[in-house]
Structure 1
Amino acid sequence: MRDMQDEAGAPLTAADASTSTPDTTLDTPRDRRGLFLLLATVAVVAYVGDQVTKVVALRQLTPGEPVDVVGEFIRLNLIRNAGAAFSIANSATWVLTLIAFGVLVFILRTARRIGSRGWAWALGMLLGGSLGNLTDRMLREPAPGRGHVVDFIDYFGLFIGNVADIAIVSAAVLIGLLALRGVGVDGKRPHHGRHEGSGAGTDGADHG
């Protein structure tokens, strides 16, 4: 009789054990929300910094009258740029606007798989910088979609950019470093031979 009770109670015991075992996947949505928040914060800071500095540049600088910051190497030199970053492709403003929208779609789609703080920083800077220059394209003269971007940071007399360009270039460098390290957008790395058999601690995830 006792054996029958033990057998009958086995499923209940297993069910209790399964319900009492902590589900580690419950942390994933919370962690991902934190990464989304980081991405959004970086994007907002980059965007606001870009727009505020452009307003200040328009008020304080006069086109054709550069102001030295670090000798003649770094200057504040106000221009209206019809092209891309660093005055490239001046005759393709509409195309550049469409490309900017495509970049935004790519960032938003990619952000759904975010699992790395490094990628959160990179996508945040890329999003903020892209939105900064796209705002100029859509709202500034001569017309929506063909607006000229405000540039004012003159590097060695070679090219002139803005804070949005700095964010975009920084994002590109960081993405390159993450790629060299093999860190995917989801925070995982491919397994290497030296990790095989090293235990459950090497799950291939990277959150740095």
Structure 2
Amino acid sequence: MNRIENLSQALAAAIHRARTAHNPAVPRTTWPWFALAGLVLLADQLSKALIASSLMLAERIPLTSFFNLVHVLNPGAAFSFLADAGGWQRYAFSVLGIAVSVWMAREIRQSKTSRTECFAYAMIIGGALGNVVDRVLRGAVTDFLDFHWQGMHWPAFNFADIAINIGVLLMLLGLWRQSRSAQARDGRPA
């Protein structure tokens, strides 16, 4: 009986090793995620430096009938939220961006985080830190992508904002998938 128990334990251990070796929910290493965050941060800062060196503040270059390059500074958050709040928002949004980035970096380091979540967190970290760098160095975030239609302009944004939105969408997709999986396990209709 001992041999059968030992054999079943060895088989269970081998199955566990095989599952975790190829399981996308168990990242083998964290450096690619931090490298991705760094690349997002670098691309964001390089693009903002290019805009700042090429365009005067408030200058607009029409590229298509619906898209302009602009050079604007946003002291607030998304959609200029709290832009006229008196300056305290610079520090509050910087602290928030750093705190969220630290929490997400911690999540990436945990082995239970899926690859999709790690990708989402890396995008958000890179974008958040890109905007934090702007707030610390310039007092406001440099925005330069301006989409418009029939005289209505979407608020200008930057590559950091794009990365943050991609990350948030991937997180929401992950939550939706988890919800559907839980419903399927419980036998409820999805």
TM-score category (smaller protein): 0.7 to 0.9
RMSD of equivalent CA atoms: 2.8
- Paired with 1:128 and 1:153, the residues of 2 have a C-alpha distance of 18
1:110 maps to which residue?
Answer: 107
- 1:84-163 paired onto structure 2 within 5 Å: 84-90=77-83, 91=85, 92-111=89-108, 112-138=110-136, 140-141=137-138, 147-156=139-148, 157-163=153-159
Q: CA deviation at 1:151?
A: 1.2
Matched residue type, 2:166 = S
Q: CA deviation at 1:53?
A: 0.6
- Paired with 1:99 and 1:115, the residues of 2 have a C-alpha distance of 22
Structure 1 or 2: larger helix share?
A: 2
Matched residue type, 1:58 = A
Checking the alignment, whether the CA contact within 8 Å between 2:107 and 2:113 is kept in structure 1 is: no
Among candidates 33, 36, 60, match of residue 39 of structure 1: 33
- Paired with 2:146 and 2:40, the residues of 1 have a C-alpha distance of 19
Matched, 1:173 2:166: no
Structure 1: 5+ residue stretches without partners: 1-9, 142-146, 195-208
Q: CA deviation at 1:135?
A: 1.5
3-state DSSP of counterpart to 2:144 = strand
TM-score, scaled to structure 1: 0.70
Among candidates 56, 67, 70, match of residue 74 of structure 1: 67
TM-score, scaled to structure 2: 0.76
Checking the alignment, whether the CA contact within 8 Å between 2:71 and 2:143 is kept in structure 1 is: yes
